Amino acid sequence: MDYILAKKMILPVKSSDIFGSTHMMNMYRGCDHGCIYCDSRSECYQGGRPEGDFSLVHAKKDALKLIESELQFRRKANAAEMVIGTGSMSDPYNSFEKDLELTRGALLLFDKYKCGVGVITKSALVSRDVGLYAQIQTHSPVNVGITITTTDSVLCQKIEPGVSGAAERFKAIRALAGAGIFTGVHMNPVLPYLTDTEENVCSIVENAAANHAKYVFCYGFGMTLRQGNREYYYENSDNLFPGLKEKYVKAFGQKYVCTSENAKELSLVFKDECEKYGLLHRAKDINAAWKKEKPKQKNLLEFESFESFES
């Protein structure tokens, strides 16, 4: 772990964000969760950076000071409500966050300056901050999305060696939901020939419902591969799943979007399963719902018990 300089921490979202965040932020650059399919490894994101190995985590120096001054400026400008998204380019709950508490520090500032937050993570450490998310949700929208691509622990260990196990992540969803926080599962990517089975989709949806998620979202039954992440994926999957690379080359060539051959069937199963359990699954419904979620002030003291979830 090392520090890098950052000029600005909170950036406006240029195109309309699928989940309605107005701004985005990354407390870290790089991620040590080691997912073999990680799109953030793509050369278009790494080009020209001295610290080219994406697995090395860099924290941003003076990140919290910068965030505070940027939020102070926004408040002086009497700007409209901010909803800050994090987790698209690196996991805000990487292994260093437990001690550094930079993401937690940012959440404290979001609460102070009355900003909403949308987070995506693959770590159960997120449940450490249940009390804070609940506090923010008393005044602003909160959406905690936990990515779960498979419930098969052996497969998970191969494709996502650094993340919390699926059972731990479902437990985190239960803790968040128990505190009244808007939370759900992001079921992407869906890896052709590995996780694109009806059994896997049904298992994820069933577990999401059992742990009181509000939604399961899947933006497509496939994955993306491009320069940088394609090579990494093939290099790693070659050892783990002999013959897989050849199947991909034959099916997708140099395509960026690699859609499962089961996509049509899986999307129908997914829709039926979500509706069977009363889970939201369309982006527009999820987006509308989390912005409307009612604050839950009266239980704040109870949330203290979730703070020790990880310890």
For residue 153, the number of C-alpha atoms closer than 13 Å in the C-beta half-sphere is: 7
Q: How far is the CB of 27 from ligand SF4 (least distance, A)?
A: 12
Question: Do 138 and 98 form a contact (C-beta atoms < 8 A)?
Answer: no
- The CA angle 304-310-311, to the nearest 5 degrees, is 90
Find the largest Cα–Cα distance for the chain: 58
97 lines the binding site for ligand SF4 (CB under 6 A): no
33 lines the binding site for ligand SF4 (CB under 6 A): yes
Q: Residues binding ligand SF4: what is the number (CB under 6 A)?
A: 9
| Residue number with CB closer to ligand SF4 (33 or 174) | 33
**Pairing state between β 23-24 and 83-86:** parallel
Token representation of residue 196: 């694109």
Q: How far is the CB of 37 from ligand SF4 (least distance, A)?
A: 7
| Residue number with CB closer to ligand SF4 (91 or 129) | 91
223 lines the binding site for ligand SF4 (CB under 6 A): no
Say which residue the tokens 């969803």 belong to.
Answer: 173
Q: Name the one range near ligand SF4 by CB under 6 A: 31-39, 217-225, 235-243, 290-298.
A: 31-39
What does the alpha-carbon distance between residue 208 and residue 303 come to, in Å, rounded to a whole number? Answer: 21
Among 58, 122, 174, 281, binds ligand SF4 (CB under 6 A): 122
Q: How far is the CB of 34 from ligand SF4 (least distance, A)?
A: 6
Question: Do 202 and 151 form a contact (C-beta atoms < 8 A)?
Answer: no
Amino acid identity of 105?
G
Q: How far is the CB of 38 from ligand SF4 (least distance, A)?
A: 3
**Pairing state between β 142-147 and 116-121:** parallel
91 lines the binding site for ligand SF4 (CB under 6 A): yes
Among 31, 126, 204, 269, binds ligand SF4 (CB under 6 A): 31
**Helix (H) / strand (E) containing 204:** helix 198-210
58 lines the binding site for ligand SF4 (CB under 6 A): no
Binding footprint of ligand SF4 on the chain (CB under 6 A) = 31, 33-35, 38, 40, 90-91, 122
